[in-house]
Amino acid sequence: MQKALVQPLEAQYRDRPRFSRGALPPRAMRLRVLDAEAKVDSAGGRFARFAIDECHGLGSPTDLSDCKWQEAALSGCVYPETGGVFVTRGYEALPAAAMLGKRVGAAPAQTCHATT
């Protein structure tokens, strides 16, 4: 997840033009795995859910003591057997490449949805 999503996002934020009109990038990000055990989707794929929290505001990127963390700014799931990383938007899952500006289609409907 670090290599497929977090590190490329951090690089994208770092390379952003200084005087961009876009929103300020987060000062720091942290990755949390939400499931202790893998879940199974209707196609039999095993996955684990994750959330990425973001710290916004002015300050040092190394001193995060004054951070106001926005929990689960991004969420999704990872399929460890295939290495697939997906970001969820509502009930839809998109490949992580969508967050990096690449044009990709939606993932299959069962992606990131556990069977009951």
pLDDT of residue 81: 94
pLDDT of residue 116: 67
Q: Which SS3 state, helix, strand or coil, does residue 107 take?
A: coil
pLDDT of residue 22: 77
**How high is the mean pLDDT in each 10-residue block of the chain (116 residues)?**
82 81 83 94 96 86 83 94 92 90 90 89
- In the block, tokens 């916004």 appear at 56
Closest by CA position to 86, among listed 56, 116, 110, 54: 110
pTM exceeds 0.85 for this model: no
Q: How far apart are CA 42 and CA 62, in angstroms?
A: 42
Q: How far apart are CA 40 and CA 45, in angstroms?
A: 5
Q: How far apart are CA 72 and CA 57, in angstroms?
A: 17
